[in-house]
Chain A
Amino acid sequence: MERPLGEATRDTYGRVLEELGAKNPNIVVLDADLSSSTRTAKFAAKYPDRFFNFGIAEANMVSAAGGFALAGKLPFISSFAVFLLCKGFDQLRQSIAYPGLNVKVVVTHGGISIGEDGPSQMSVEDFALAVSLPGFVVIHPADQYAAYALLHQVAEDPRPCVVRLGRPKAPIVYSESDTFQIGKANQLRDGSDITLIANGLLVAEALDAAEILEKQGVQARVLDMHTIKPIDEEAIARAARETGAIVTAEEHLITGGLGAMVAQAVARTHPVPMEFVGIKDTYAESGTPRQLLERYGLVAADIVRAAEKALARKPQNG
């Protein structure tokens, strides 16, 4: 189904940072020579004294954010997801997670939908890294409305957070009046046969998949699991109990991300057949975002196929 495209969630970030800058004089923003891409440049132009460009040196930036937090500031640090999480990981671990400091790690250009730049710039392992940091909240909004609301909540939350945002314009799945809560899944469609749990761009694909499944007589519930950690175990348990099968869909490796987090919750609460839509133990390539989502199995048709597999594994009790 055709959905209207909204702004890219990184553009939402640029807007939100400007608002936050006016609201909270304690916020400082750090970037590593990508401010025009991450959209922190808007904050930089408005609040130059509170913006620090670290050059192409992520490790230094991440640890310095720890120093700012120790001295009472609220740092927002940004770069591409792959660079900040991968190059800055030991620093995220020791300078932020281990002392438990309130630093907001907002990364853009998540997943493979950055397109033409190719795999060296794509993050497919960032959820796995982020969820492994003790005490961190990990969020991946689906569209501009989700990003707007969740980024404002992130600024008020006392915990360290990773927020993954995207490069391309994101299809609209929400409206301005929708509400969000960190750690609480949004149910976008009810169904009794299976639950599709997605985040980011894959939420729109899951909604499309649900419509295709409906034509086949399958009623699919769709959950936007924008918060990967802490995961909404209650919504997952209810979905498992009430629908008996689950498919997860994410723009990430199927190891260590949303699917793995949901599977843990399902195994703990109410085991049911599960299938996983995501990138399968590989790196992607250059192409348009749409071409790549199709080639790497991240579109509605892939979710439908996974749902059929999961449904076939559902126990038939009379």
Chain B
Amino acid sequence: MRKTEAPDYRYLAELAREARRHVLKMIHAAGSGHPGGSLSSLDVLVTLYFHEMRHDPKNPDDPDRDRFILSKGHGVPALYTVMAMSGYFDVSLLQTLRKLDSPLQGHPDKRKLPALEASTGSLGQGLSIGIGMALALKLDGRDARVYVMLGDGECDEGQVWEAAMFAGNRGAQLNNLCAIVDANGAQLDGYTKDIMPLEPFADKWRAFNWNVLEIDGHSYPEIVEAFQKARACKTAPTVIIARTVKGKGVSFMEAAGAKYHGVAPTDEELERALAELEAE
């Protein structure tokens, strides 16, 4: 549920540490997946599911719930983890990631896991889906909010900017829409600054008439405050550019840049990573 009381940053950090362990174990068990961008997004996701969003796993069809769309669908191990920890399904299911007949498909599949808000994976579409949802909620007079997480590499896609232009032009009509860019600085082929530089990134969104916030995507006080500011902004949709570290929480993944974009940890790497996350 959306919390009004002061957030417990220590509790959120504890949840994120547990979530990171789940993410690494499930990708290791699957033998494939995207650890780098899952780990980079986790602090924002934990804050959304355990502090910011109004949602109830026991009533997943509540028309007044806030919606979350993972446009960067390859980061889904992080989303499955916060959903499981929130109570949408049993945590033991995480070990079935990417296996035949598992509801936890390699990329988000709403047919297999109806509690997901959207099916994604072909990059660039989530923000547009969020626009449709947010407009429909407004038509129905509901005060629910729509959150969409994009990757920074994903912003190479032209459709993202079609959506940005549309939503920015709608102004107050889409003040219930909040985009978060998990700006971890790396994409499959290398660093974003080398493959397709995005800067001046915040200025681009400002030029499209968005309310733009730039934060450290691993700082709970900054994440919590950004979501508060987004909700308070009544004149425009908000984009939170969360500067993050690919592979956050695992030193050798953090140091490796794009290497762990789409590679599962080996047995030995998993052991080292889990040891680091235990020791903290």
Contact = CB atoms under 8 A, between A and B. Distances in A.
Interface stretch (A56-64, A157-165, A201-209): A56-64
Contact of B125 (A63, A72, A100): A63
Interface stretch (A90-98, A285-293, A304-312): A90-98
B120 A94 contact: yes
B148 to A, nearest CB: 10
Interface stretch (B34-42, B77-85, B130-138): B130-138
Given A54-B166, A60-B166, A72-B63, A66 B132 contact: yes
A59 B162 contact: yes
Contact of B132 (A71, A90, A93, A98): A71
Interface string A62-93: 11111111111101000000000000001101
B84 to A, nearest CB: 21
B139 to A, nearest CB: 7
A70 B111 contact: no
Interface string B161-186: 01101100000000000000000000
B152 to A, nearest CB: 19
Interface residues of A, number: 31
Contacts of A91: 125, 128, 159
A91 B132 CA distance: 13
A95 B139 contact: no
A3 B110 CA distance: 49
A73 B159 contact: no
Contacts of B155: none
B136 A66 contact: no
A198 interface: no
A28 B136 contact: yes
Contacts of B132: 63-71, 73, 75
A52 interface: yes
Contacts of A69: 132
Interface centre among B111, B134, B162 (most CB of A within 10 A): B162
A246 to B, nearest CB: 37
Interface string B83-112: 000000000000000000000000001110
B139 A73 contact: yes
A50 interface: yes
A72 B64 CA distance: 12
Interface residues of B, number: 31
Contact of A68 (B111, B122, B133): B133
Report which residue of A59, A64, A75 has the largest number of chain B beta carbons within 10 angstroms of its beta carbon.
A64
A75 B139 CA distance: 13
Interface majority SS (helix, strand, loop, mixed), chain A:
helix
Nearest to B157: A59
A99 interface: yes
A2 interface: no
Contacts of B124: 59
Nearest to A64: B132
A49 B139 contact: yes
A70 B117 contact: yes
Nearest to A56: B162
B250 to A, nearest CB: 31
Interface in B213-262: none
B129 interface: yes
A70 B129 CA distance: 9
Contacts of B134: 67
Given A64-B128, A99-B111, A71 B159 contact: no
Contacts of A49: 139
Given A28-B136, A67-B136, A70-B118, A95 B166 contact: no
Contact of B166 (A57, A75, A94): A57
Interface in A19-55: 28, 49-50, 52, 54-55
21 contacts: A28-B135, A55-B165, A59-B128, A60-B162, A60-B166, A61-B128, A63-B125, A64-B166, A67-B128, A69-B132, A70-B117, A71-B132, A71-B140, A73-B136, A73-B139, A91-B128, A94-B119, A94-B125, A95-B118, A99-B111, A99-B118
Which 7 interchain pairs have the tightest Cβ spacing? A67-B132, A63-B128, A71-B136, A64-B132, A60-B162, A57-B162, A67-B129
Given A49-B139, A94-B125, 19 more contacts: A55-B166, A57-B165, A59-B158, A59-B159, A60-B159, A60-B163, A60-B166, A62-B128, A63-B128, A63-B129, A64-B132, A67-B136, A70-B117, A72-B63, A72-B140, A90-B122, A90-B125, A94-B121, A99-B118
Interface of A: 28, 49-50, 52, 54-55, 57, 59-73, 75, 90-91, 93-95, 98-100
